[in-house]
Amino acid sequence: MPDLAQFQRRFADTLLRNTEGDGDLSHPAFAVYRNSWRKALVDALEANFPVVEELIGSNAFGMLTSHYVSANPVSSPVLAGYGAGLAAFIEESPLAESVPYLADVARLEYLIAEIRHTPDMDSVDAGMVGSLPAEALEKLELTTIPAARIAIFATPAVTIWKAHQQPGRVGKLSPEWKAEYAIVARSDGRTAVRAIDRATAGFANALLAGAPLGAAAEAVTSTYPDADIAAILSAILSSGAFRQL
Amino acid sequence: MTVSAGIGFKPQHFEEAIASPADGLWFEVHAENYMLDGSPRLAMLEKLREARPLSIHGVGLSLAGHYRPDPAHLAKLRDLVSRFEPFLVSEHLAWSQLGDTYFPDLLPFPRTNEALKIVGRNIDIAQEALGQTILVENPSLYMPLDGHEMEEAEFLATLTERTGCRLLLDINNVHVSANNLGFDPQVYLDALPLEAIREIHLAGYSLDPNLGEALLIDSHDAPISRAVWNLYRGFVRRTGLMPTLIERDGNIPPFSELIAERGVAAGLLSEAIEPAYA
């Protein structure tokens, strides 16, 4: 007579080994159990990484996710955040060489997934900021809302990801091979990925590090003497990604 | 409002769901999809709840596991229940967690007297933590296991007696299990304690790619089959009005198709309340 704990261990071991079972677990229908928990995790990855799947095709994506699932079982029934390690996993796989921007696209898609379930919060009002006297403006401290991320990629992942949002554009794509920067934010219920230049990314990161606007502007100007601070501030404010501290 | 036939809620159907004028319509959600602190999805669920009665259906408590239900998971479920005040809360006669590993599936076990005690204890713990009665759903089974000491209907009936839990009867699961294990679904339905049933689930199944009709899979990705409708029609003649849920989790069609399918269930429920010969 099997005791429940012993039965569960035997069943779970067989599922995790992803092989044929022994005794009653050698039944051909055991394949349903073997497949379905893995499929639930693969489905969660498909939902979070649609462009990664488009880039490599469903066969290669199936192999990638199958390996990922084997190496990364979950400990909780809440699957919304599954795939946190997929970008790093891609970097360690042969895909890193054949599709060198894939890990960055995965990183970008995970940022999008991550902010999907963060709380709503109002961003700073651009009109209010515009009306501040110079002294107050310099001292203003901004940080990101919960549903926003500043992203830096070594590859043109933002251009590639954006091309995959518009059917028909992918074939014509030949992005310049350079680092790219973006603000990923959900505002008014819509998630947007805004490409920004590196001076704007530097400015945003200075704000996140706690610098008030004036100090962030000085830091950026010293690194990028040509930086247009008014344009940078306008991009930061219109992104809807920042709130007043 | 009297609840009749409901639909498993999908966020992409939100606008149509709250605008639907269907009489007796209600919705059910999977608890684990809403265990996301601060997510805008919770605000959406609040609007849905304002419009319609809601049922919360858990998939992660692992009631048929030898470990006790995870207190942290139970606390999250309790938070959802107190926030959304569902008219039904349900879980499964299955396990999915072993130590630190969670299998997102509903796994089987030998129905022994030992298992009966453990599942009863777990239901007691869950009901105590939630401060309310839960419904327990019959699983879809795919293969025989060694060591069963009683039939599923007897197992479920004993659980209702010992814990006061009620039952969620998934008629598609009965059809799928009966087909796969070779028993008569009507005999199974007749053996259930009718008075303990509080909800019915209906869904579609698919055929195993290798074994075909010998192995039906509870895939929730197709319309409800004729065989399941027939079992349902006969069953609700015995129960009368019974909240009935149309579940669709894959190949999700437009909302209007789900409304049409729940309309069939609502029609059969009204026939069951007021038979044509009355």
pLDDT at B263: 98
pLDDT at B278: 46
Mean pLDDT to the nearest integer, B196-218: 97
Query: Could you say which residues of chain A have pLDDT below 50?
Result: none
Do A175 and A237 fall within a single domain? yes
pLDDT tens digits for B131-147?
999 999 999 999 999 99
pLDDT tens digits for B208-243?
999 999 999 999 999 999 999 999 999 999 999 999
Q: Is residue B41 exposed (0-12), middle (13-18) or buried (19+ Cβ within 10 Å)? A: middle
The pTM assigned to this predicted structure is 0.93
pLDDT band at B1 (very low <50, low <70, confident <90, very high): confident
Partners of B222 in the beta sheet?
none
**Residue of B12, B93, B142, B176 best to disrupt the A interface, most CBs of A under 10 A:** B142
Domain-ending residue, one of A117, A132, A159: A117
> Could you tell me the residue range of the domain that residue A180 belongs to?
119-245
Instruction: Provide φ and ψ at B27, rounded to 5°.
Output: -130, 155
Nearest to B144 among A24, A31, A76 (CB): A24
A116 touches B: beta carbon within 8 Å:
yes
pLDDT tens digits for B33-87?
999 999 999 999 999 999 999 999 999 999 999 999 999 999 999 999 999 999 9
- Please say whether the beta carbons of B139 and B93 come within 8 A: yes
pLDDT at A147: 97
Q: Residue B227 is inside which H or E element, if any?
A: helix B226-239
Do A186 and A88 fall within a single domain? no
- Please say whether the beta carbons of A51 and A161 come within 8 A: yes
Short-list B66, B136, B132, B128, CA closest to B98: B66
Q: Which of residues 124-153 of B touch A (CB under 8 A)?
A: 142-147, 149
The span from the CA of B215 to the CA of B181, in Å, is 9
Domain-ending residue, one of A117, A139, A155: A117
Q: With H, G, I as helix, E, B as strand and everything else as coil, classify residue B253.
A: coil
A17 touches B: beta carbon within 8 Å:
no
B110 touches A: beta carbon within 8 Å:
yes
Do A93 and A140 fall within a single domain? no
Q: What is the DSSP string of chain A?
A: ---HHHHHHHHHHHHHHTS--SGGGGSTTHHHHHHHHHHHHHHHHHHH-HHHHHHHHHHHHHHHHHHHHHH--BSSS--TTTTTTHHHHHHTSTHHHHSTTHHHHHHHHHHHHHHHTSPP-PPPPHHHHHTS-HHHHHH--EEE-TTEEEEEESSSHHHHHHHTTSTTSGGG----SS-EEEEEEEETTEEEEEEE-HHHHHHHHHHHTT--HHHHHHHHHHH-TT--HHHHHHHHHHTT-EEE-
Pairing type for strands B206-208 and B212-217 reads: antiparallel
Do A164 and A243 fall within a single domain? yes
Domain-ending residue, one of A117, A149, A182: A117
Do A192 and A242 fall within a single domain? yes
Rounded mean pLDDT of chain B? 96
Do A112 and A61 fall within a single domain? yes
Q: Residue A181 is inside which H or E element, if any?
A: strand A180-187
Residue B95 has pLDDT above 80, yes or no: yes
pLDDT band at B275 (very low <50, low <70, confident <90, very high): low
- Please say whether the beta carbons of B194 and B167 come within 8 A: no
A20 touches B: beta carbon within 8 Å:
no
Pairing type for strands B101-107 and B95-98 reads: antiparallel
**CATH number of domain containing A221:** 3.90.930
Do A138 and A213 fall within a single domain? yes
Q: Which fold has domain B5-273?
A: TIM Barrel (3.20.20)
pLDDT tens digits for A17-42?
878 889 999 999 999 999 999 999 99
The span from the CA of B110 to the CA of A22, in Å, is 16
Q: Residue A70: CB partners within 8 Å, gap ≥ 6? A: A18, A38
Do A29 and A109 fall within a single domain? yes
Do A172 and A195 fall within a single domain? yes
A152 touches B: beta carbon within 8 Å:
no
